[in-house]
Amino acid sequence: MDPTAVNDMWKNLFAAQVGVRFVETGLDRVVAELEIRGSLLNIRGVVHGGALMALADTVGGTAAVLNLPAGASTATIESKTNFFATGKSGVLRAEATPLHKGKSTTVWQTRVTDESGRLLSLTIQTQAVLQK
């Protein structure tokens, strides 16, 4: 599925409302961007941790969806985020890559960086593969 189709898949849903835009969508790498704006900041004027987590969850979950066998669905069953730095302006970039692709679960690592490539957060999430 190409990035345009993935963006269409999220149309009128949470990711699109937040401003997530997919720019690369392969089976082993999914990349999306999110422009930092006032509504994504916390009271200290930096990107809210929940925005970083939402971006990472969306990208990792989408990567899991793209890898599902026909007729299967997925659900996040575990997610952990480490925060390393703050973002204040510009565009966030999230890149999800697989750590494990099994029959009943997949595990995705999503790195969120700022425009300079500085690592802001790292999320590892486990997705259940739900067979019909």
Structure tokens at 9: 């898949």
Q: Which of 94, 101, 92, 93 is nearest to 27 (CA)?
A: 101
Q: Please give the pLDDT value at position 72.
A: 97
- 41 forms bridges with which residues in the sheet? 47
pLDDT tens-place string over residues 29-46: 999 999 999 999 999 999
Q: Which domains does the chain have, with CATH numbers?
A: 3-130 (3.10.129.10)
Burial class (CB in 10 A: 0-12, 13-18, 19+), 96: buried
Indicate the pTM of the whole model: 0.96
Query: Does residue 132 have a pLDDT over 90?
Result: no
| pLDDT above 90 for 52 | yes
Instruction: Determine what percent of the chain is predicted with pLDDT higher than 70.
Output: 100
Give residue 118's pLDDT: 98
Dmax (CA) of the chain: 46
Could you report the per-residue pLDDT of 103-120, keeping only the tens digit for each?
Answer: 999 999 999 999 999 999
| pLDDT tens-place string over residues 54-66 | 999 999 999 999 9
In DSSP notation, 63-123 reads: HHHHTPPTT-EEEEEEEEEEE-----SSEEEEEEEEEEE-SSEEEEEEEEE-TT--EEEEE
40 three-class SS: helix
Which helix or strand (DSSP H or E) is residue 12 part of?
none
- Return the structure tokens found at 103: 């029959």
Give yes or no for residue 23 having a pLDDT over 90. Answer: yes
